[in-house]
Amino acid sequence: MGSFDIERIRQDFPILHQQVNGKPLVYLDNAATTQKPVAVLDAVNRYYREINSNVHRGAHRLSDLATREFEAARDTVQRFINAPHSHEIIWTRGTTESINLVAQAFGRNSFRPGDEILISAMEHHSNIVPWQILAQQTGAQLKVIPVHADAELDMEAFSRLLSERTRLVSVVHVSNALGTVNPVREIVRQAHEVGARVLLDGAQATPHWNVDVQTLDCDFYAFSGHKVFGPTGIGVLYGRTELLEQMAPYQAGGEMIEKVSFSGTTYNTLPYKFEAGTPHIAGAIGLAAAIDYLAQFDREQLLAHEQRLLEATLERAGADPQIQLIGRARDRASVFSFLLEGAHPNDVGTLLDQQGIAVRTGHHCAMPIMDQFNIPGTVRASFAFYNTLDEVERLFAGLEKCKTFLL
Ligand code: 7TS
């Protein structure tokens, strides 16, 4: 695509063209989930209308077609994140399941008392609780990298916390609550120096730019289809072959076995060892359609547009003494987390909704970092490339209206 044609792009997303509470919808909750282009809706619809069948089992035409598309989708994801091998792409339900898979299949059998797991203070609950459970199960200790008041990771503390006891570092690539983009390459480099493995939570990175797991050199990478313009209920875990090979199965059942008898069972090869049961076939095909949809764009151009929206937002917010910005990292994604002084975030959210403006309010499943900032939660507006400067204006006009009711 030569020039960036926002109106044309918006035509690809039917859901955006509706009235909510009598006003044109302004959808600014993209960090929670993104909207789906027609290409994704059509791919899912076509799958169910034309080839729906179970994969890897039937010796019939439709099953063969479904299997091919399902496996082609895996190849599409492999190229999307530049994984060396297609068998390193494990289908999951989303980021949450991908992290739980690593905790249980990688950590549970190999971590011992005295081992350490390092996460950061800005993690989503899905990158906290699985490690707390694993720590209880194995006796390993969970340690937390602190976050500075400006919402950047304390990299000096990180270096100090790293030791030969560190088995795994699991950190968020981009924070959903603060927008902070973490220096993940440096984190991986330092972690590898002490022999630790690294899992990156890419739920909020993949919607904004092309991730390259080989450049990042991470050991595991997790993301969700629904945040990258694909369907809900499908997600991805990338893992290095050598680690996935060593890992025990995550769940047991059909597809993950090679041979079952009552005297013992042998497991299937990668990636199927980790994919027990009938998978979300339509979801995988829909996610591949989303990735193909994105491929027509120069993603740097889309990111530049999002950053313009963020800059315009921060400029407006900076000029308003009643707006308290939460998260001031220098490198940040298009997330605007804030408080309207004197107003509860939920009330702001409700009043914005009445004006057709969808934002998220609350702790954003990141209660520890909210505690650190001593706040119960924030109002969060998060942008995707289909948002417009006009919508930024609508948000601030909406906030002016909130003030007349709440302050
Ligand atoms: N990690 C991060 C950084 C996230 O932002 C989310 C979801 C998850 C993990 C979990 O992803 P899931 O697809 O498995 O649910 N974040 C949000 C949010 O910010 N608002 O709603 C969901």
Predicted confidence (pLDDT) per residue in 93-130, tens digit:
999 999 999 999 999 999 999 999 999 999 999 999 99
Q: CATH number of the domain at 6-30+298-406, out of 3.40.630.20, 3.90.1150.10, 1.10.3720.10, 3.30.1540.20?
A: 3.90.1150.10
**d(Cα 23, Cα 353) in Å, to the nearest integer?**
10
Cα 50 to middle of ligand 1, angstroms: 32
* Cβ pair 252, 276 in contact under 8 A: yes
Amino acid letter, 85: H
Q: Is the CB of 228 under 6 A from ligand 1?
A: no
Note whether 6-30+298-406 and 41-295 share their fold: no
Active-site residue, from 20, 65, 365, 406: 365
Q: What is the pLDDT of residue 3?
A: 67
State the average pLDDT for the chain: 97
Mean of pLDDT values over 36-54: 98
pTM: 0.98
Q: Which CATH class is domain 41-295?
A: alpha beta
The residue whose C-alpha atom lies closest to atom 16 belonging to ligand 1 is 32
Q: Is the CB of 98 under 6 A from ligand 1?
A: no
Q: If pLDDT is split at 50, 70 and 90, which confidence band does 1 have?
A: very low
- At CB < 8 A and 24+ separation, what contacts does 312-319 make? 312/389, 312/392, 313/381, 313/383, 313/392, 313/395, 316/392, 316/396
Mind listing the pLDDT tens digit for each residue in 325-371? 999 999 999 999 999 999 999 999 999 999 999 999 999 999 999 99
Q: If pLDDT is split at 50, 70 and 90, which confidence band does 149 have?
A: very high
365 flagged as catalytic: yes
Q: Does residue 307 surpass a pLDDT of 60?
A: yes
| Chain-centroid distance, C-alpha 219 | 17
Domain-wise residue ranges, the chain: 6-30+298-406, 41-295
Q: To test the ligand 1 pocket, which listed residue (93, 95, 129) has its Cβ within 8 A of the most ligand atoms?
A: 95
Query: How distant, in Å, are the alpha carbons of 80, 141, 177, 360 from that of 207?
Result: 12, 32, 15, 17
